Structure 1
Amino acid sequence: MAHDTTQHQDHGSATKRIWTVFAILSVVTIVEVALGIIKPAFLTDTYLLAMKLLNWIFIILTIYKAYYIAWAFMHLEHETKGLRRAVVWTGVFLVSYLIFILLTEGNYIYEVYRNGHVAWDF
């Protein structure tokens, strides 16, 4: 439920808004794909909190895209500050927690297999 539902946009500003959203999401996606193809050595050789810097960049760009999609397509920009924060911060917290759990468990499983406790037989 938007706060200002009586305000109408004209066709020109709606079209401009669509192209702006398209351009921003396209640029972020192009940067992600380019980094994934090129994989610069300084990003793959640099570690931050036990993970490659390139992976951190992918995670940050993905969270940004998810936030911007919610902001633009769920019309959060027209909602109250409390609702925006509830939606955005809940999502950011859950995604951050999921990333932490996946990285922690993935590292544990990798160490178990690398140290030879279990055979790589699957």
Structure 2
Amino acid sequence: MERDDLIANDSYSLNATHDAEHGRVIRKKIYFVTILLSVITTAEVLMGVFFKHGTAIWPFVKWSFIVMTLVKAAYIVVVFMHLGDERKSLKYMILAPYAIFVLYLIFVGITESNFINEVWQTYGE
């Protein structure tokens, strides 16, 4: 049975060579991404544990959660989907609709929550 992962005339798969320096660069990038995403996630969890709902700082905590989550999502898209290696116009063409959609969802969520809060205050619960 012939292996289907090696093609006889495919010079890339047969002659691919990577030096140790290239491996170090890749590992350094992987460690950086892992540490950055872990730090942001740890900050989110600690904020959720130490700041309780109803305190004066709670609106800041909510917006911090939203911003940190969007930063993590954008960084995952840029690094793991290799969008960071593309041209700037392609990045904007891909990310702009998602950014607009996320902002729309945030707008709808805030608007509806304000409406529900107004109804509860008017008619009581």
Higher helix share: 2
Unaligned runs of 5+ in 2: 1-17
TM-score (norm 1): 0.75
Give the alignment partner of residue 65 of structure 1, picking from 63, 72, 75. Answer: 72
In structure 2, C-alpha distance between the alignment counterparts of 1:26 and 1:37, rounded to whole Å: 16
Please report how far the alpha carbon of residue 69 of structure 1 lies from its aligned counterpart in structure 2 after TM superposition. 0.6
1:51-96 Cα distance to aligned partner (Å, 9 max, x none): x111111111111111101111111111011011122222222111
Residue matched to 1:20: 32
Count of residue pairs the alignment pairs up: 105
Residue matched to 1:45: 56
Larger Rg, first or second structure (1 or 2): 2
Unaligned runs of 5+ in 1: 1-7
Pick closer, same or farther for the CA change 1:105–1:40 going to 2, 3 Å: closer
- Asked if 1:108 corresponds to 2:115, the answer is yes
In structure 2, C-alpha distance between the alignment counterparts of 1:56 and 1:102, rounded to whole Å: 13
In structure 2, C-alpha distance between the alignment counterparts of 1:46 and 1:11, rounded to whole Å: 45
TM-score (norm 2): 0.74
Q: Share of identical aligned residues, percent?
A: 36
Please report how far the alpha carbon of residue 11 of structure 1 lies from its aligned counterpart in structure 2 after TM superposition. 2.0
Is residue 46–residue 53 contact of structure 1 (8 Å, CA) maintained in 2? Answer: yes
Name which of structure 1's ranges 104-113 and 73-82 shifts more when overlaid on structure 2: 104-113
Choose between structure 1 and 2 for higher RCO, CA contacts under 8 A separated by at least 6 residues: 1
